[in-house]
A and B are shown apart, each in its own frame.
Chain A
Amino acid sequence: MNEQAPLRIVLAKVGLDGHDRGVKVVSRALRDAGFHVIYPGLWQAPEAVVRTVGDEDADWLGISLLSGTHLTLVPRIIDLLKAAGLDHVGVLVGGIIPEADIPKLHEMGVSRVFGPGTPMTDIITYLRSEGSRTHA
């Protein structure tokens, strides 16, 4: 009935990483672009992130990592999403990710990696063009 229901995206800071400036900037930009952004705060466990994605019925999960733990935490989250029956949720990664690790993240199932300096319009345009696999 409602064609333009806003996309719901969970933005998450995982593990011992206190740098939330970036995720806050992205939160605000997505909000202003008409998305519904769910931000559960710092220091989330992978299990808590997956619980949030499920209860909130999110279309997307954006993981912000500036701690160098992306090759440990991202696969953990993706495995938990699969185990919870949430593999339809698109996964984005943002933050400090070395160039060489990006293909590895894609292989694990990450749709896109957005590094520092990404124009907000890139993220917004990408999400709008992809839409929702949750509510296809």
Chain B
Amino acid sequence: MLSDLLARLEEKDRLALARLLTLISRGEQLPEISSAIGTRNETTPVVAITGNAGVGKSTLVGKLAEYLRGEDKSVAILACDPESPLTGGALLGDRIRMPSRPDDAGLFIRSLAAASGHQAVAEHVDLMIRLLAKFGFDVILLETVGAGQGDTAVRELADVVVLLVQPESGDELQWEKAGLLEVADVVVVHKADLAGAEKTEGQVKELLSLPGSREIAVLRVSSRTGQGFEALWEAVMAAPRRGTTLDGRQLLRLAQQLLADRYRSRGAAAGPIIDRWKAHQLDESQAAEQLLDLLVR
């Protein structure tokens, strides 16, 4: 079954690609898929688009994809929306704001549900990115859930992180608080057709020019008027790539995911440990150690 899918993937079969993404999102056959895909093709840029809810991430991703199609670059989009922590359900509505090009083989859009606590992107996104790069897309766009503070996992997944802010979104101290500016490689003042865009651009530039800051491009983009997309793509391409260094963190992340999957599949065996912890016979760290032993065995 998997070997059949992988063979079809080689023949650029979109349905095989879609099915493999489903397997990955469910945490199924990850080691087999991972070794079949191999390491990531480093020439394919992976660009993450992040920012708070309502700032226009889906819209910008859609317009950027159209711009790139105009440049004859094929584009794959992974669009994350939140999954309910209570029911596991999700309403994935990012496609509404993205281009509908049913006959265009050069555009692929996949909606993903991101569980809460997963740092604004769905699980196993790194493997999905490798799969899409192997399929041959020229550019991969990753739209985060965009919950804001502390959602910094995208930094390790993407080569370039584009942070969207919008006019009139709080005084200048908000930018300092958010902790997001330090994640960004490019800052976009989106909705630049609205009043106040220049002021916001000025505030962000001022913050970023404080001593000790990295060089970060700040530019105004409007999805409504189409202003700024060429400049945005130039800035993205000019930003130093961050994803190219392999280090232990990638392995750690994979190990964490494997543990989470094992917990889901063998969670019942952990019942006695949990019961003893609840009854205060084990403290939290002892219980966690025992759980780890159980899952690693």
The one of B18, B28, B102, B264 in contact with A48, judged by C-beta atoms closer than 8 angstroms, is B102
B1-32, CB under 8 A of A: which get 1 and which 0? 00000000000001100110110001111000
Docked pose: A105 CA to B100 CA in angstroms: 27
The one of A2, A30, A34 in contact with B261, judged by C-beta atoms closer than 8 angstroms, is A2
Contacts A1-B265, A55-B108, A57-B19; A6 near B88 (Cβ below 8 A)? yes
A39 touches B15 (CB 8 A): no
**Shortest beta-carbon distance from B297 to chain A in Å:** 17
Docked pose: A123 CA to B42 CA in angstroms: 45
How many A-B contacts at CB < 8 Å in the complex?
94
Which A residues, 35 to 87, have Cβ-Cβ distances below 8 Å to chain B? 35-41, 44-45, 47-48, 50-52, 54-57, 84-86
A54 touches B89 (CB 8 A): no
For residue A35, which residue of chain B has the nearest CB? B89
A2 touches B26 (CB 8 A): yes
Size category of the binding interface on chain B: 20 to 34
Docked pose: A39 CA to B93 CA in angstroms: 5
A36 touches B90 (CB 8 A): yes
**Shortest beta-carbon distance from A117 to chain B in Å:** 23
Docked pose: A58 CA to B226 CA in angstroms: 32
The one of B15, B22, B92, B93 in contact with A135, judged by C-beta atoms closer than 8 angstroms, is B22
A38 touches B92 (CB 8 A): yes
Question: Would you call B91 an interface residue if the criterion is a C-beta within 8 Å of the partner chain's C-beta atoms?
Answer: yes
B102 touches A55 (CB 8 A): no
Docked pose: A35 CA to B91 CA in angstroms: 8
**Shortest beta-carbon distance from A41 to chain B in Å:** 4
A8-28, CB under 8 A of B: which get 1 and which 0? 100000000000000000011
Stretch from B43-51, B109-117, B193-201, B247-255 at the A interface: B109-117
Contacts A5-B26, A45-B102; A31 near B264 (Cβ below 8 A)? no
Question: Would you call B84 an interface residue if the criterion is a C-beta within 8 Å of the partner chain's C-beta atoms?
Answer: yes
Contacts A1-B261, A1-B264; A56 near B110 (Cβ below 8 A)? yes
Docked pose: A33 CA to B27 CA in angstroms: 22
Residue numbers in B under 8 Å from A52 (CB-CB) = 95, 109
**Shortest beta-carbon distance from B179 to chain A in Å:** 30
Residue numbers in A under 8 Å from B87 (CB-CB) = 31-34
B265 touches A27 (CB 8 A): no
The one of A34, A44, A57 in contact with B18, judged by C-beta atoms closer than 8 angstroms, is A57
Q: Which 7 A-B pairs have the closest CB atoms?
A: A41-B96, A47-B102, A57-B18, A31-B89, A40-B95, A51-B102, A48-B100
| Interfacial residues, chain B to chain A (CB-CB below 8 A) | 14-15, 18-19, 21-22, 26-29, 83-84, 87-93, 95-96, 100, 102-103, 108-111, 113, 261, 264-265
Q: A1-B265, A48-B102 are in contact. List 14 more A-B contacts (CB 8 A).
A: A4-B88, A6-B90, A31-B91, A32-B84, A32-B87, A36-B92, A36-B113, A37-B89, A37-B92, A39-B95, A41-B93, A41-B96, A56-B18, A57-B22
